A and B are shown apart, each in its own frame.
Chain A
Amino acid sequence: MDAILLQILNGLDKGGAYALIALGLTIIFGTLGVVNFAHGALFMLGAFCAVSIKAVLGLQKVTLSETETTAWGTPLEITQPYVEVWFGDLGATILDYSVPVSILIAIPVMLLIGIIMERGLIRYFYKRPHAEQILVTFGLAIVLQEIIKSIFGANPIPQPAPDSMKGMIDFGVAIGFDAGNVVYPVWRLVYFLFSLFVIGLVFAFIQFTTFGMVVRAGMADRETVGLLGIDIDRRFTIVFGIAAIVAGLAGVMYTPILSPDYHMGMDFLVLSFVVVVVGGMGSLGGAVLAGFMLGILQSFASMNEVKDILPGIDQIIIYLIAVAVLLLRPRGLMGRKGVMEG
């Protein structure tokens, strides 16, 4: 019982990440009609926003030691972050909170990246065949990740959560289990709540604003919206920017769970596509539902009890579910007819 509870919890934060990436992907599908293979790269760029911001905050004042030397004979460099030199303890706190702080900066940065991508490249591909969209965005994804690699290297870069969020919550005690049996890291809870918050924001935005109304209309029938005389180009740009922000924020907040490296976008790309398709192309609710569903089922499939009966099931569960869903429900859980079937 406690094992199952734990796996549900595990599924929630994983599902949160899947849902956030898939959400942006499906918005782009639905409104712009673009298959964006660079969406994983946006997630990765978000994560590297956090890395860069920590690097900037952590810019160090270097003094050469007069007495000590390194193992290879040069004088030892003594370093101290400038924020600490300037602000003392406050600086140390800012550094400690670099991941949450990154969110504030990642929003404009990702919006800018999204706008540049859309204006500079994606908009020329609205009417092009899906295969060409895939190729060009895939090329872009490779270029972006290689640029990141040449700047930051290939190894993962640790991004610890703030000290105050490193601990765990003992859920079990609250509902009658022994202490220490059902625990959940604070940061993962933060991530889950954060993802709910962002999903809620996106939904509210699309549901309750006039801008969102156009987006919804666009997802229902792209042709007609073009005829309404609305400046659809500008709105598409903003839609892409929003999708970029959502993916980027998912990346920023995920860094304490998964040390970012340049390749992480590709790893999430395939998964998020599966999530989008299982949820139903162009369906926001479907993406979120499928994200959490796959996250939780993946967690269950990884339990020893399950693996004993079906060896290797944890490796293929996501794909197995995708196949089953697509065969039983041709357009995914909540997809509509005619979207992306051509």
Chain B
Amino acid sequence: MSKFKMNRRTLLKGTAAVGVGLATPTIFTSKAWSAGYMNEPKGGTVTFGFNVPQTGAYADEGADELRAYELAVEHINGGGDGGMLNTFSSKALQGNGVNGKKVEFVTGDTQTKSDAARASAKRMIEKDGAIMITGGSSSGVAIAVQGLCQDAGVIFMAGLTHSNDTTGKDKRANGFRHFFNTEMSGAALGPVLKNNFGTDRTAYHLTADYTWGWSQEGSIKKYTEQLGWKTAAAVRTPLGAGDFSQYITPVLNSGADVLVLNHYGRDMVNSLTQAVQFGLRDKQVNGKDFAIVVPLYSRLMAQGAGENVKGIFGSTNWHWSLQDEGSKAFVKSFGQKYGFPPSQAAHTCYSQAILYADACQRAGTFMPSGVGAALEDFEFDGLGNGPTLYRGADHQCFKDVLVVKGKENPSSKFDVLEVVEVTPRAQVEYPASMLGGELGPYNNG
């Protein structure tokens, strides 16, 4: 196979040369076609590609991700106070860039659309010579860009993506995810829901009608039904429906006493706001207090729902109020630079950038297969989630999961969630084979 590939690449070069003719000498010196691996850095710098939503519904999350990346680059290059590098268990990075090269970065707008995200990633790879692509705020985009990076032969460090598929059905060797997934959300929420609401409950799901929503619905169903809960109905709602009242009113008379909102972003803000408006938070059914659950919380988005989040349970990857050394260092570093605390999206992106840089340093190369080997089954600590494993079998991080609740008496506009429980990593682990998919081999371009 590798022989064929060699042939193919030679052929490729040949055709390109014929096609372009004599006119484009740059094409032969272009990094894209040189030997070694894709975009191998030749000079004193190495370029990271930050691909985040700058327009569209997730623009604020994207902006926060970008802030985190800039902070991470600063820290890797030895600037600032060093942030989580000081608490990170691996001490490979010296504050002088990576493998002796200073880190530079380019940015792009995913628009939260697969096409735009891939176009933007391609630009960074083809034009700007990015060695690694990272970022994103939705699973569709993450999977699309991950596939692209696999084809192009660069590493993809996923940003905020919560669908199981990213490191399940659609996993790729070149892709790595630090963020948790719906399976872990379900596993972490299960026991907390049991403790708070008991085992005799009937749930009604409202689910955003796309892959992530279904994935989330499946996981929550699975773990709540294990507790003995019943599922009254699972209703699919169109993405971006705006007004959810027509989906919420049937809940009133369904006999259900828990409403699970498998929504994210604006859909979550709107459906939660409207569910509270219809009195569901204060309702009594079968002699029990009605409950609303939002399986995936985002603090940035929760701010949009205002006081409606009070007392509503959900899970999150990280929260700035955590008191471990890593989180404190990160919040301090971020807060001093920007004046407000980082979001979970910022945290996961910062961590991904640090983890990638560290792996390159340990591997001594930027070649995807080398970096990947250094990340696989890497055990680390000090990045805010406790001891963490980057599992080699599916390139998924395993760490503690936070179960949070909307705070009753927030002290500031950032202080909307409180951590109810830190579900230990052992409780959310699952076998890699469970979610299917094939990593395939690394592609070095």
Find out whether the CB atom of B60 lies under 8 angstroms from the CB atom of A10: no
The one of B56, B279, B304, B328 in contact with A157, judged by C-beta atoms closer than 8 angstroms, is B304
> Nearest CB to that of A299 among chain B residues?
B246
Cα A76 to Cα B56 with chains together (Å):
33
Find out whether the CB atom of A259 lies under 8 angstroms from the CB atom of B305: yes
The digit string for B230-263, where 1 denotes a CB below 8 A from any CB of A, is 0001011110101101110110110000000000
Q: Which residues of B contact A3 (CB under 8 A)?
A: 249-250, 253
B388 within 8 A of partner (CB): no
B185 within 8 A of partner (CB): no
Q: Which residues of A contact B242 (CB under 8 A)?
A: 258, 264, 267
> Nearest CB to that of B307 among chain A residues?
A160
Q: Which residues of B contact A166 (CB under 8 A)?
A: 277
Q: Which of B266, B274, B301, B306: most chain A CB closer than 10 A?
A: B266
Stretch of A147-155, A204-212, A243-251 with 4 or more beta carbons under 8 angstroms from chain B:
A147-155
- A contacts with B, residue count (CB < 8 A): 51
Known: A71-B332, A154-B59, A185-B279. A259 touches B249 (CB 8 A): no
Cα A259 to Cα B304 with chains together (Å):
7
Find out whether the CB atom of B306 lies under 8 angstroms from the CB atom of A314: no
Find out whether the CB atom of A263 lies under 8 angstroms from the CB atom of B56: yes
Min distance, Cβ A247 to any Cβ of chain B, angstroms? 16
Interface residues on B, range: 35 or more
Known: A258-B270, A304-B233. A188 touches B245 (CB 8 A): yes
Cα A71 to Cα B235 with chains together (Å):
41
A2 within 8 A of partner (CB): yes
Find out whether the CB atom of A257 lies under 8 angstroms from the CB atom of B274: yes
Cα A302 to Cα B60 with chains together (Å):
31
> Nearest CB to that of A73 among chain B residues?
B332
Find out whether the CB atom of A302 lies under 8 angstroms from the CB atom of B243: no
A85 within 8 A of partner (CB): no
Find out whether the CB atom of B57 lies under 8 angstroms from the CB atom of A263: yes
Q: Which residues of B contact A11 (CB under 8 A)?
A: 246
Min distance, Cβ A186 to any Cβ of chain B, angstroms? 9
Find out whether the CB atom of B335 lies under 8 angstroms from the CB atom of A74: yes
Q: Which of A224-275 contact B (CB under 8 A)?
A: 256-259, 261, 263-264, 267
Min distance, Cβ B119 to any Cβ of chain A, angstroms? 20
Q: Which residues of A contact B57 (CB under 8 A)?
A: 154, 261, 263
> Nearest CB to that of B53 among chain A residues?
A154
B336 within 8 A of partner (CB): yes
Min distance, Cβ A58 to any Cβ of chain B, angstroms? 11
Cα A73 to Cα B305 with chains together (Å):
28
> Nearest CB to that of B270 among chain A residues?
A258
> Nearest CB to that of A264 among chain B residues?
B242
The one of A158, A259, A267 in contact with B240, judged by C-beta atoms closer than 8 angstroms, is A267
A307 within 8 A of partner (CB): yes
Cα A266 to Cα B332 with chains together (Å):
38
Find out whether the CB atom of B278 lies under 8 angstroms from the CB atom of A304: no
B114 within 8 A of partner (CB): no
Min distance, Cβ B98 to any Cβ of chain A, angstroms? 27
Q: Which of B329-350 contact A (CB under 8 A)?
A: 331-336, 341
A98 within 8 A of partner (CB): no
Cα A64 to Cα B16 with chains together (Å):
64
Q: Which residues of B contact A314 (CB under 8 A)?
A: 237-238, 246
A124 within 8 A of partner (CB): no
Min distance, Cβ A65 to any Cβ of chain B, angstroms? 11
Q: Which of A268-317 contact B (CB under 8 A)?
A: 298-299, 302-304, 307, 312, 314-315
Q: Which residues of A contact B236 (CB under 8 A)?
A: 307
B320 within 8 A of partner (CB): yes
> Nearest CB to that of B243 among chain A residues?
A14
The one of B246, B249, B266, B307 in contact with A261, judged by C-beta atoms closer than 8 angstroms, is B266
Find out whether the CB atom of A71 lies under 8 angstroms from the CB atom of B243: no
The digit string for B208-250, where 1 denotes a CB below 8 A from any CB of A, is 0100000000000000000000000101111010110111011
The one of B238, B243, B304, B332 in contact with A72, judged by C-beta atoms closer than 8 angstroms, is B332
Q: Which of B279, B320, B412: most chain A CB closer than 10 A?
A: B279
Q: Which residues of B contact A158 (CB under 8 A)?
A: 269, 273, 303-308
Q: Which of A137-169 contact B (CB under 8 A)?
A: 149, 153-158, 160-161, 166-168
Min distance, Cβ B205 to any Cβ of chain A, angstroms? 12
Q: Which residues of A contact B278 (CB under 8 A)?
A: 168, 183, 185
Cα A77 to Cα B279 with chains together (Å):
34
Find out whether the CB atom of B277 lies under 8 angstroms from the CB atom of A181: no
Find out whether the CB atom of B335 lies under 8 angstroms from the CB atom of A10: no
Find out whether the CB atom of A6 lies under 8 angstroms from the CB atom of B249: yes
Q: Which residues of B contact A9 (CB under 8 A)?
A: 249
Closest 5 CB pairs of A and B: A72-B335, A158-B306, A154-B59, A156-B304, A302-B246
- B residues bordering A, Cβ < 8 Å? 56-60, 63, 209, 233, 235-238, 240, 242-243, 245-247, 249-250, 252-253, 266, 269-270, 273-274, 277-279, 283, 300-301, 303-308, 320-321, 328, 331-336, 341, 411-412
- Give 30 A-B contacts (CB < 8 Å), ordered by A residue: A3-B249, A3-B253, A7-B246, A10-B246, A71-B320, A71-B332, A71-B341, A72-B331, A76-B411, A77-B412, A154-B60, A155-B301, A156-B304, A158-B303, A160-B307, A166-B277, A168-B278, A181-B252, A183-B278, A188-B245, A256-B277, A257-B243, A258-B242, A258-B243, A259-B269, A259-B270, A302-B237, A302-B247, A303-B250, A304-B235
Other A-B contacts than A158-B308, A314-B246, 4 sampled, CB-CB below 8 A, are A71-B332, A181-B252, A303-B246, A304-B235
